A and B are shown apart, each in its own frame.
Chain A
Amino acid sequence: MKLAIFDYGAGNIFSLRVALEKQGATADVITSFDRVNNYSGLLLPGVGNFDPAVRSIRDYSSVSFADYVKDKIPVLGICLGMEMFFEKSEEGKERGLAVMEGKVILLPNRLKIPHMGWNDLKIRKSNPLLEGVPDSSWVYFVHSYRVEPKNQDIIMAESDYGIRVPAVINKGNLYGTQFHPEKSGHVGSLMIRNFLRECKK
């Protein structure tokens, strides 16, 4: 099974690639959406800045993100990768990939920013990505923004950081995690395995 990891040009995609390989998948690193999409799944990694990342997708691709993945392959957006699913972000001025309604907002400044470290998941709904993941599992976060979906039903799990942080979202074939599964120990590996299982279907 072969997946694609989109490289915005700045992020550390090494750990994500290793995490996939440990679960028996291989991954190509791609820098545009143009050729025929033969991948079983796509990952949008979690390191970088909103505007440069969105531009690196939009400016170099002949096919739009929505058309490239449309109902075809599972997509996992991690942290920034998930934030880009939405229409806009307070981190930048560019329009997001806009495959989900809503926006990305800065964490309240009464809190320590970034929200960095291990926090626990409150699982709201059962979801393929969370299969076998116990409620209150610890996952590793490092982010300054949070998503605010127009439709709250897409939130599968959240975390408590003095405010509610949407932690896992899912709409159709699009999955997002605000935390980093590739840095979240064995619980994170389990979620990556779950995602790969969806890619196989």
Chain B
Amino acid sequence: MSLTKRIIPCLDVANGRVVKGLHFESIKDAGDPVLLAQKYGSEGADELVFLDITASQEQRETIRSLVSNVAQVIDIPFTVGGGVKTLQHARDILLCGADKVAINTGAVKNPQIITELMELFGKQCVVIAIDAKRNYNVSNGTNIFSEDSKKFWFEVFIYGGKKETGLDAIEWAKKVQDLGAGEILLTSIDRDGTKDGYDLTLTGAIVDAVSIPVIASGGCGRPSHMLDVFKKTQVDAALAASIFHYETHSVDRVKEYLKKNDVQVRL
């Protein structure tokens, strides 16, 4: 036996409720975050991720109390992200009881925050969220891929998928690792909310480029998508939201399915 693959339910939170969008938009309500956290914990989730998708200044107090309420009811690790831009804000979240903090826009705007957080809390607390999208204008990319005779590269987006950065996701992943990130939460914007499966090309490329753990995210619509991403890439963890929220599949059932198909999971 050795290290297992991790199954991570994600809770997108807006105004204190869990919601789910398609392509980062069109939000619908999916439940109470503390109750869902408890449910996932008892079903055998390996970790939880909370993303504050409104990420506005007023939400900070809501998130702080959410984090400490969640910390009271679960005994597995959890990550909190969304709109974290300053060291102080990250510190707040960690001191309220989160084990890790996920940063995207804040790290693109000020990469130094990665090193500062790592020095203060250790790299295990620092998760860099990378939202990547295929860009078919290959003259701007560094790492070019080809599928169905179309060429593209993966561009990093910030502000919840709304703004492009010109950064090549593979180069950015290597850089955040050098700066002190402990883990990468990799979301495919093309696949997010589609239920078409993870972007295996993106996931495989990032996993091969870095030596820190990577979590695949975006596109999981059924358990076989998780099997695919574990069989076809060396990714460490798979994150999903909607398949768990609407009682379509429970965490333990998904893990039993993976185990039956020779993926090492904790049961």
Contacts and interface: CB of A to CB of B under 8 A. Distances in A.
8 contacts: A47-B121, A114-B182, A115-B3, A117-B3, A117-B213, A118-B46, A142-B77, A185-B75
B94 A183 contact: no
B97 A12 contact: yes
A140 B124 contact: no
B252 interface: no
Nearest to B236: A117
Interface in A92-147: 109, 112-120, 136, 138, 140-144
B68 A118 contact: no
B99 A12 contact: yes
B229 to A, nearest CB: 16
Interface of A: 10-12, 14-15, 18-19, 47-49, 80, 109, 112-120, 136, 138, 140-144, 159-162, 180, 182-186, 188-189
B120 A10 contact: yes
Contacts of A109: 211
B49 interface: no
A12 B94 contact: yes
A114 B120 contact: no
B215 to A, nearest CB: 10
A118 B121 contact: no
B98 interface: yes
B76 A185 contact: yes
A194 to B, nearest CB: 15
Q: Which of A48, A118, A120, A143 has the most CB of B within 10 A?
A: A118
B84 to A, nearest CB: 15
Nearest to A119: B3
Given A113-B211, A114-B212, A116-B236, A184 B75 contact: yes
Contacts of A14: 68, 71, 95-97
Closest 10 CB pairs of A and B: A14-B97, A138-B266, A142-B124, A118-B266, A120-B1, A118-B4, A183-B77, A119-B3, A116-B213, A160-B2
Interface in B32-47: 41, 46
Contact of A140 (B41, B68, B76, B119): B76
Interface in B1-28: 1-4, 6
Contacts of A10: 120-122
B3 A183 contact: no
B212 A138 contact: no
Contact of B71 (A11, A15, A49): A15
